[in-house]
Structure 1
């Protein structure tokens, strides 16, 4: 099996655009870091961050070019998310989720996309895929009610993607779908009280007997099988593998959090002693040397796994091919490994830095809490991903989860 870290078909123009966008994100890191405490205290990303990210074009990377978007690849999306997370995990997470929800929107029929972006090409989309609502079929569409948590980005979005089941006359499940619904038709319950990623405002969306036209419904099983509803066959981005994309994007903020932790520990080591030892600074201590080497290697490995998955997703889409089950299982495994390695690197760095890592004034404690919280997202779940991949290697497929 060949291992690629960027899709072979990527052009110099593709890479130049990626470098430009990552550079734009990097320039925002000081702003995001300066606002990280306020974002956490407010339990939502400060508007200054969102405005700056939007003005830099970083909320358009997954929007179709038909609506003024950049329609970039997933390697680019990972790198942008990583850079933003170096400044603030919550801001990067919210940006990541709104961007992937723009990608989801690109899977819908043309009329649904027009509903979202026709009048306002800069409209942002948040969402929750879990089918926790109910839908009653009526003439021309559905009447939807329900609650959906946790809706990252909903504080800054104009539209939402939410999951619903479709039942047959006997109450059995005949399809599971997603619908597009304006935020103006929803209310938000303040439910996001958590240890990490506090600033994401991932609250609960509520719908009460809301009509949704039929063209704003998308079948999830069809999307998983590589049959999106978009009529634009030439837009490779929106023919990418559904579940690998849904999982992989969540690794981007983890990469940035781990890199931020490593940078901070390396920067502080020459100025910090080790209490109750003869080491004047951490730099001279073999224990710290070994710790930062191990952490740096884990951060590198996390990037390599995530970039391989992105390259395989992007290349398959560019070729007009939908990855087979075993390839998708490997992509999901790569995502789980990337997230696990990033999280473990942060744990090592927190210990190497010392007990002051947990001072409220230290960014390390927030990085650690954000990573520990976000890495538990159910779509990532490294243990389930490992089981899926191990079984696929042994020829056992489809008996763990539909999300492959």
Structure 2
């Protein structure tokens, strides 16, 4: 099997644009880091961060070009998310989720996209795929009600994307899909009280009898298997692998931030109750940073392989079969697990002061531990799916492959 780390069809212009966007994100890291504690305390990303990311054009990377977006590939998406996470995990997570919701919106019919971006090209979308709502069919659409948690980025979005089942007159399920609703028609309930990723404002969306026209409904089943063809490569990308892989980007950046911090502080820190004047001379620290760096490298390699496959297949008009999609989920789970393990290793090497409230390490650790439990990237479920696929067992764990 050939292992790709970037799609072969990527041009010099593609890579130059990627480098430019990643460079824009890197320039924001000091600002995001300075605001990280306040973002956590406020339980939402501070507006200075949102404005800076918007001004840098980084909310537009998944938006269709016909609405002023950059319509980049997923390798670029990962790298931008990673860079932002070096400054603040919550800010990177919110940006990642709003960007992927722009990608989801790009799967809808043209009229729905016009509703979202026609008059407001810089509109942002937050979303929850879980089908926890309900819909009653009426003339021209549906009346939608429900509660959807956890909606990362909802504090900074103008539209919401939410999942719901469709039923017949007898209440029997006939389809599962997503609808687009203006945030002005939705109430946000303050429910996000958590140990990590506190700044994401991933609160609960509540709709009570909201009318949604037919063209703003998208069936999920066809999207999962690539039955919603598009003339644009980005929107031909594999649905579930995309939904999972984007969540690895912040993990890569937080792990790198932890490594950079520990390496920077090691020459200035001793190891209590030992003869080591600095951590630099201690084999235990040397081994720890080597292990962590290698884990972070491995996490990047797995994530980049999945991104390269997604991008290359989409560019060629191909949709990955079940087994390939299972491997992409596995790559995502491995990347998240390695990044998390690297952070754990670095926290231990740095010492008990890692858990001082003034230390960015404790926030990185909490953010990673929380975000890595997202159901779509669940490493254990991803491993089960991939192992079964290798043994010829398919489709008995989840539809999200």
2:38 is the alignment partner of 1:41 = no
Q: Report the 3-state secondary structure (helix = DSSP H, G, I; strand = E; otherwise coil) of the residue aligned with 1:276.
A: coil
2:62 is the alignment partner of 1:65 = no
- Per the alignment, residue 188 of structure 2 pairs with 188
Deviation at 1:227, TM superposition (A): 2.0
How far apart, in 1, do the equivalents of 2:395 and 2:383 lie? 14
Residues 24-83 of structure 1, C-alpha deviation per residue, up to 9 Å, x if partnerless?
000000000000010000000000000000000000000000000000000000000000
Deviation at 1:290, TM superposition (A): 0.3
**Aligned ranges 1:68-83 → 2 under 5 Å:** 68-83=68-83
How far apart, in 2, do the equivalents of 1:183 and 1:371 lie? 29
2:332 is the alignment partner of 1:322 = no
**Aligned ranges 1:228-267 → 2 under 5 Å:** 228=228, 233-267=230-264
- Per the alignment, residue 19 of structure 1 pairs with 19
2:343 is the alignment partner of 1:343 = no
2:341 is the alignment partner of 1:354 = no
Deviation at 1:172, TM superposition (A): 1.8
Q: Report the 3-state secondary structure (helix = DSSP H, G, I; strand = E; otherwise coil) of the residue aligned with 1:258.
A: helix
- Per the alignment, residue 395 of structure 1 pairs with 392
How far apart, in 2, do the equivalents of 1:85 and 1:172 lie? 43
Q: Which runs of 5+ in 1 are unaligned?
A: none
Residues 160-193 of structure 1, C-alpha deviation per residue, up to 9 Å, x if partnerless?
1000100123322111000000000000000000
- Per the alignment, residue 85 of structure 1 pairs with 85
Q: Report the 3-state secondary structure (helix = DSSP H, G, I; strand = E; otherwise coil) of the residue aligned with 1:379.
A: helix
2:221 is the alignment partner of 1:221 = yes
**Aligned ranges 1:201-216 → 2 under 5 Å:** 201-216=201-216
Q: Report the 3-state secondary structure (helix = DSSP H, G, I; strand = E; otherwise coil) of the residue aligned with 1:313.
A: helix
2:295 is the alignment partner of 1:293 = no
Superposition TM-score, scaled by structure 1 size? 0.99
- Per the alignment, residue 158 of structure 1 pairs with 158
How far apart, in 1, do the equivalents of 2:339 and 2:21 lie? 23
How far apart, in 2, do the equivalents of 1:349 and 1:397 lie? 38
- Per the alignment, residue 106 of structure 1 pairs with 106
Superposition TM-score, scaled by structure 2 size? 1.00
How far apart, in 2, do the equivalents of 1:308 and 1:66 lie? 29
- Per the alignment, residue 378 of structure 1 pairs with 375
Q: Which runs of 5+ in 2 are unaligned?
A: none
Q: Report the 3-state secondary structure (helix = DSSP H, G, I; strand = E; otherwise coil) of the residue aligned with 2:375.
A: coil
How far apart, in 1, do the equivalents of 2:52 and 2:109 lie? 31
How far apart, in 1, do the equivalents of 2:227 and 2:263 lie? 47
Residues 189-211 of structure 1, C-alpha deviation per residue, up to 9 Å, x if partnerless?
00000000000000000000000
How far apart, in 2, do the equivalents of 1:274 and 1:322 lie? 53
How far apart, in 1, do the equivalents of 2:151 and 2:162 lie? 9
How far apart, in 2, do the equivalents of 1:145 and 1:219 lie? 18
How far apart, in 1, do the equivalents of 2:242 and 2:391 lie? 24
Q: Report the 3-state secondary structure (helix = DSSP H, G, I; strand = E; otherwise coil) of the residue aligned with 2:134.
A: strand
